[in-house]
Chain A
Amino acid sequence: MDEFFVRALLGGIGVALVAGPLGCFVLWRRLAYFGDTLSHAALLGVTLALLLEIHIVLGVFVAAALVAIPLVLLGRRPILASDTILGILSHSTLAIGIIVVALMATVQVDLIGYLFGDILAVSWTDIAVIWGGGALVVAVLAVIWRPLFAGTVNAELAAAEGLRPEIARIVFTMLMAAVVAIALKIVGAMLITALLIIPAAAARRFARGPEAMAFLAAAFGVAAVVLGLHGSLWFDTPSGPSIVVGALALFVVSLLPFRGRAAEGRS
Chain B
Amino acid sequence: MEITLPSPSAAEPLAAVENLGVRLGGRWIVRHVDLAVRPGEIVTVIGPNGGGKTTTAKALLGLISPAEGRSVHRPGLRVGYVPQKLAIDWTLPMTVGRLMQLTGRHPRAAIDAALGEVGIPHLAGTPIQALSGGEFQRALLARAIVRRPELLVLDEPVQGVDFAGELALYELIGTIRDRLGCGVLLISHDLHIVMARTDTVVCLEGGVSCRGAPHAVTESPQYQRLFGPRAAAALAVYAHEHHHDHGQDHHGHDHGHDHDAEHHHG
Chain A contact residues, CB within 8 Å of chain B: 27-28, 146, 149-150, 152-154, 156-163, 204, 207-210, 212-213, 263-267
A28/B92 in contact, CB under 8 A: yes
Chain A residues positioned under 8 Å from B79 (CB to CB): 160-162
Bound state CA distance, A149 and B89, in angstroms?
Answer: 13
List of 7 A-B pairs having minimum Cβ-Cβ separation, nearest first: A265-B129, A160-B81, A161-B103, A160-B61, A207-B93, A267-B130, A28-B92
Chain B residues positioned under 8 Å from A146 (CB to CB): 103-104
Q: Does B98 contact A (CB under 8 A)?
A: yes
Looking at chain A's contact residues, the main secondary structure is helix
Query: A161 is contacted by which of B58, B80, B127 (Cβ under 8 Å)?
Result: B80
Chain B residues positioned under 8 Å from A207 (CB to CB): 93
A153/B98 in contact, CB under 8 A: no
Q: Does B159 contact A (CB under 8 A)?
A: no
A157/B93 in contact, CB under 8 A: no
Chain B residues positioned under 8 Å from A152 (CB to CB): 92
Interface residues on B, range: 20 to 34
Q: Does B46 contact A (CB under 8 A)?
A: no
Q: Does B109 contact A (CB under 8 A)?
A: no
Q: Which residue of B lies closest to A158 (CB)?
A: B103
Mark interface residues in B70-95 (1 if CB within 8 Å of A CB, else 0): 00000000111101001011111111
Bound state CA distance, A203 and B147, in angstroms?
Answer: 31
Q: Which residue of B lies closest to A201 (CB)?
A: B91
B92/A153 in contact, CB under 8 A: yes
Query: B147 is contacted by which of A161, A210, A213, A264 (Cβ under 8 Å)?
Result: A161
Q: Which residue of B lies closest to A266 (CB)?
A: B129
Ordered by A's residue number, 19 sampled pairs between the chains whose C-beta atoms are within 8 Å are A27-B91, A28-B89, A28-B91, A153-B86, A153-B94, A156-B63, A157-B103, A158-B102, A159-B61, A160-B61, A160-B79, A163-B103, A209-B98, A213-B93, A263-B93, A264-B127, A265-B127, A266-B130, A267-B130
Chain B contact residues, CB within 8 Å of chain A: 58, 61-63, 78-81, 83, 86, 88-95, 98, 102-104, 127, 129-130, 147, 153
B103/A210 in contact, CB under 8 A: no
Chain A residues positioned under 8 Å from B104 (CB to CB): 146, 161
* Contact A156:B83 (CB < 8 A) given known A209-B94, A212-B93, A266-B90: yes
A153/B127 in contact, CB under 8 A: no
A159/B63 in contact, CB under 8 A: yes
**Closest CB of chain A to B100's CB: distance in Å?**
12
**Closest CB of chain B to A153's CB: distance in Å?**
6
Query: A150 is contacted by which of B58, B61, B103 (Cβ under 8 Å)?
Result: B103
Query: A162 is contacted by which of B88, B90, B94, B103 (Cβ under 8 Å)?
Result: B103
Bound state CA distance, A163 and B92, in angstroms?
Answer: 20
Chain A residues positioned under 8 Å from B80 (CB to CB): 161
